[in-house]
Amino acid sequence: MWKSFLKLNILAGLCFAQFSDAQLFRTKDRMDNLEGFDNQKFSYGFFLAANNFDYKLVLDPKFGMDGQKSLVQTKSAYSFGAGLIAKFRLNDNFDLRFEPGLQFVEREMIFDTQSNDQFAGGTTANPPFTPLALTDADRLRTIKSTYVDLPLLIEIHGDRWYNSRPYAAAGVNWMMNLQSNNKSIDDNLQGVFRSTASNFAWSAEIGMQFYFGRFKLTPGFRGTFMTNSELVEDNPGTPPYWTAAMASAKTRAFMFVLKFE
Are 72 and 108 a contacting pair, CB within 8 Å?
A: no
pLDDT single digits (tens) 60-87: 999 999 888 999 999 988 999 999 999 9
* Phi, then psi, of 32 in degrees rounded to 5: -70, 140
Quote the CA–CA distance of 85 and 41 in Å, as a whole number. Answer: 14
Q: pLDDT value at position 84?
A: 97
pLDDT at 240 over 90: yes
Q: Which of 159, 153, 54, 51 shows the shortest CA–CA distance to 98?
A: 153
Per-residue pLDDT tens over the stretch 16-41: 444 444 444 444 445 577 677 778 89
Residue % of the chain over a pLDDT of 70: 87
- Whether the pLDDT of residue 9 is over 50: the answer is no
Q: Where are the domains of the chain?
A: 1-30, 37-260
Amino acid at 39: N
Q: 3-class SS at 55?
A: strand
Average pLDDT in the chain: 87
- Is the pLDDT at 222 greater than 90? The verdict is yes
Q: How far apart are CA 144 and CA 180, in angstroms?
A: 8
Q: What is the CATH number of domain 37-260?
A: 2.40.160.20
Task: State yes or no: pLDDT of 170 exceeds 90.
Answer: yes
